[in-house]
Amino acid sequence: MPALVLTLALTGASGSTRAADPAPVNEVAPGVFVHTGQIAEATRDNDGDTSNWGFVVGERCIAVIDSGGSTATGEALLAAIRSQSPLPVCAVISTHVHPDHILGNAALASLKPAPEFVASQRLPAALAARQSTYTALALRQLGADRAPVFVAPTSLVGAQTVQINLGNRDLTVRSWPTAHTDNDLTVSDETSGTLFAGDLLFVDHIPVLDGSLTGWLAQIPTLRALSATRVVPGHGGVASGAAAVAAAWDREHAYLLDLRDRVRASLRIGTALARAVDTLTAPAGWQLTELYHRRNVTAAYAELEWED
């Protein structure tokens, strides 16, 4: 399909009423900055800094890709931007609905001129269905005095790709069929060959299934075919260079394939879900398996038990 072009109007100067210490960022390519969040559950102590985010600087403006899991992470993100460039933020792109990636948007909502908040066309429905759950989770993890603020997207991406021009620098935003979630986006910086994969790629952090296991497996070859020079995962370290990128996709694919095959085998012999959750243990080497692997088995069972 042909790409749509998202036109971003800029007037006036950018600014924020909040001050924070800048989050640490690495310039992984000229003008491409990445913050690597902790591989951990969100807590008050870490301010929900448990996912990766980044920003890309063009000649005219800056695009943000994800913003972390609290208003505080968004404030630290904005401070990091200001430590690198005075240019305005013209786009804030959410790779999917999970709160560890979008709650920082609240710190960017008051910028002048206002940036476009870009998300999948399926994100609003997903957020509406879960906002009360996400709010309760944030209050429990971060504290009752840190109520989350959800920012509604202003530009929605459907089946077509969207091009965002930052001034002599193009980003390609792609929507994906149901995989990690039903509202996944990726962002490619065409200048540097950097792919922001969101949670379509996990490195070290165990993959988390909230969409479709078979769908995710089906999309990995297409994601690999984008031939990125480097990939920024939603969690874990940046994969740079062809060998590291291939290894990252290989490892995630192996986990998901093993999960699918072992759940299918359990279903064929009539193993009850409760027993499968206890016996289908996670492969070694992933972090946070105690939090997410059993959930992945449960989600895979719910999906695969209805296969023909």
Tens of pLDDT along 191-236? 999 999 999 999 999 999 999 999 999 999 999 999 999 999 999 9
- Residue 135 neighbours by CB distance under 10 Å: 15
Q: pLDDT-based confidence at 16, cuts 50/70/90?
A: very low
pTM: 0.94
User: Token pair 């401070």 is at which residue?
Assistant: 79
Q: What is the pLDDT of residues 29-59, one digit of tens each?
A: 999 999 999 999 999 999 999 999 999 999 9
Q: pLDDT-based confidence at 4, cuts 50/70/90?
A: low
4-242: what fold?
Metallo-beta-lactamase; Chain A (3.60.15)
Of all residues in the chain, what percent carry a pLDDT higher than 90?
92
Q: Is the pLDDT assigned to residue 18 strictly greater than 60?
A: no
Q: pLDDT-based confidence at 5, cuts 50/70/90?
A: low
For residue 48, count CB atoms less than 10 angstroms from its CB and return exposed for 0-12, middle for 13-18, buried for 19 or more: buried
- The full DSSP string for 73-136 is HHHHHHHHHHHH--SPEEEEE-SSS-HHHHGGGGGTTT-SSPPEEEEETTHHHHHHHHHHHHHH
Q: What is the reported pLDDT for 238?
A: 99
Q: What is the reported pLDDT for 3?
A: 54
Choice among 3-7, 158-162, 245-249, 294-298 with the minimum mean pLDDT: 3-7
* Nearest Cα residue to 188 out of 206, 200, 203: 200
According to DSSP, residue 56 is labeled E
Q: Is the pLDDT assigned to residue 70 strictly greater than 90?
A: yes
Of all residues in the chain, what percent carry a pLDDT higher than 70?
94
For residues 265-276, give the mean pLDDT.
Answer: 96
Q: What is the reported pLDDT for 12?
A: 38
- The full DSSP string for 179-218 is SSSSS-EEEEETTTTEEEEEEEEESSBPP--SS-HHHHHH
Per-domain residue ranges of the chain: 4-242
- Cβ neighbours for 180, distance < 8 A, ≥ 6 positions apart: 96, 198, 199, 200, 207, 208, 209, 210, 211, 216, 234
Contact 38, 73 (CB under 8 A): no
Q: What is the reported pLDDT for 9?
A: 53
